[in-house]
Structure 1
Amino acid sequence: MSHNGVQTESQRTALVVVAHHRTDSLTAHIGRRTVAQLEAAGYRIDFLDLHAEGFDPRMNIEDQPDWGNREKPYSDEAQAHMQRVLAADIVVAVFPVYWMSVPAVLKGWIDRVWNYGFAYGRSKPRLAGKRMLWLGLGGIAGDDAALPAMQEALDGQLNAGIAYYCGFSHSMVGLLPDAEERPQRLDAAGNLNIGDAISGIERDDHYVEFDRKAAGFVEEFLAADRVPA
């Protein structure tokens, strides 16, 4: 957990959750840039690298919801993560898009931590008023015909199916296509066509633009947060 900068009474906390198994991945890179951007905006950071912290995404008996007891004490691990969510004003998840969804480690974190009695199942949600940004990195090309369907799937799952259901006041999906060095597109017959890898100045320019788009989503999200209710 990282708490950088001078904390003041009015300083907000951002929980930044990275879901990737490699620290040298583009996902981890965007996670680090997002942390820096949020710190520059005045946020106190709680950085959660799910793989580095050894989070087990598998549901277990201790964390299985008890529909007859919303006050059920869940496992120590789940309870510790619940406190981190409660302490945050905003939550930012950075992840690679797998099958038009989130990776298993992030889905398992939600399954085990955003549990009945904590994140939902109350007339007044404990997470009410919090805001959520989902930054998803996709290997899909930006001009692929399937991109709108991917955006729609993520919006439905993450904004409506999770954040809205848990009482978040605002949730936004920032989908970042063109994450791969070799462009990937499906043709009309469903065949995957992989192009040549970009290199040199073209590659540098590509990822400068990728970083710019990611930062743009963060700024858009923060701008919405600054609008008076």
Structure 2
Amino acid sequence: MNVLLVLAHPEPASYNGHLARLAVETLTAAGHTVEVSDLYQQRFAAIAGPADLEPAYAADFFDLQAAQRAGVAADSFEPAISAEMDKLRRADLLMLQFPLWWHSVPAILKGWIDRVLAVGFAYGGTKELAGKKALVSLTSGTPNELWDGVTLPTLESTLSHLLRGTFAFCGMEVYEPFMIGSAKHLGAEQRAAADAEFVRMLQELDTRKRIF
């Protein structure tokens, strides 16, 4: 299986960075091929606009969807976007690794979604992501048990814009998300246990529940 792992954390030595490296190690050991898009290290631009195309999209009124359709038709996306699209074409599984910020994804990851999952490519046309699998792995400063639908919304509800509104909308098969809570407060033994659970989740991915 070909895996595209998209990491969105500004600190390479962070726990998310550690989990990304652990994912590469685990998946590679299982015989899979892993490509990594480390968005901060790549300095991936998060703002969609006319410069997403080369030459820049020219119109009296800028319409992102119209620009993206033109980019698909002419194969004229700028190199950073084109490279990510090619990675997605090769991938059987898209895995996101990020910290939960304001019940959502970091801005750089939202920009990746806005710019790379273009109309005419990911949806509204060829649907090149249809049939591929998606896995969201994230960390939170809040204990997992508080995402109970009472104290806090459920995790699936919180991530609905991503799980349903993005991946399922693009025709992808979506795994139940995986979250390590209280990530900044884990002691050595707790972190080792979380690592082991993360590795086991990846090793048993074939049997993991799919929610879409």
- Shorter-chain TM-score range: 0.7 to 0.9
Q: CA RMSD in A?
A: 2.3
Between 1:52-61 and 1:25-34, the stretch displaced more is 52-61
Q: What residue is the counterpart of 1:159 in the other structure?
A: 163
- 1:155-194 → structure 2 map (5 Å cutoff): 155-181=159-185
Unpaired segments of 5 or more residues in structure 1?
Answer: 1-11, 182-197
The structure with the largest helix share of the pair is 2
Q: CA deviation at 1:58?
A: 1.2
In the alignment, the residues of structure 2 paired with residue 43 and residue 215 of structure 1 have an alpha-carbon distance, to the nearest angstrom, of 14
Instruction: Give the TM-score, by structure 2 length.
Output: 0.82
Q: CA deviation at 1:91?
A: 1.1
SS in 2 for 1:66: helix
Unpaired segments of 5 or more residues in structure 2?
Answer: 53-63
For the pair 1:218 / 2:196, whether they are aligned, the reply is no
In the alignment, the residues of structure 2 paired with residue 114 and residue 171 of structure 1 have an alpha-carbon distance, to the nearest angstrom, of 19
Q: CA deviation at 1:141?
A: 1.7
For residue 136 of structure 2, the aligned residue among 121, 134, 137 is 134
Q: What residue is the counterpart of 1:7 in the other structure?
A: none
For residue 10 of structure 2, the aligned residue among 17, 21, 26 is 21
Between 1:164-173 and 1:23-32, the stretch displaced more is 164-173
Inter-CA distance 57–150: structure 2 relative to 1 (3 Å threshold)? farther
In the alignment, the residues of structure 1 paired with residue 30 and residue 152 of structure 2 have an alpha-carbon distance, to the nearest angstrom, of 31
Q: Which amino acid is the alignment partner of residue 214 of structure 1?
A: F
Q: Which amino acid is the alignment partner of residue 180 of structure 2?
A: L
In the alignment, the residues of structure 1 paired with residue 82 and residue 147 of structure 2 have an alpha-carbon distance, to the nearest angstrom, of 42
For the pair 1:39 / 2:25, whether they are aligned, the reply is no
In the alignment, the residues of structure 1 paired with residue 208 and residue 32 of structure 2 have an alpha-carbon distance, to the nearest angstrom, of 15
Provide Cα deviations, 1:198-229, integer angstroms capped at 9, x if missing partner: 6xxxx21110111122223323433349xxxx
In the alignment, the residues of structure 1 paired with residue 25 and residue 65 of structure 2 have an alpha-carbon distance, to the nearest angstrom, of 36
Inter-CA distance 209–148: structure 2 relative to 1 (3 Å threshold)? farther
Identity %: 28
Which has the bigger relative contact order, CA under 8 A and spacing at least 6? 2
Q: What residue is the counterpart of 2:58 in the other structure?
A: none
Instruction: Give the TM-score, by structure 1 length.
Output: 0.76
Provide Cα deviations, 1:36-76, integer angstroms capped at 9, x if missing partner: 11101111111111111111111121333217756253222
Matched residues, number: 194
Q: Which amino acid is the alignment partner of residue 113 of structure 1?
A: V
CA contact (8 A) 2:6 2:96 kept: yes
CA contact (8 A) 2:44 2:108 kept: yes
The structure having more radius of gyration, on CA atoms, is 1
In the alignment, the residues of structure 2 paired with residue 165 and residue 29 of structure 1 have an alpha-carbon distance, to the nearest angstrom, of 30
Q: Which amino acid is the alignment partner of residue 122 of structure 2?
A: A
In the alignment, the residues of structure 1 paired with residue 154 and residue 51 of structure 2 have an alpha-carbon distance, to the nearest angstrom, of 34
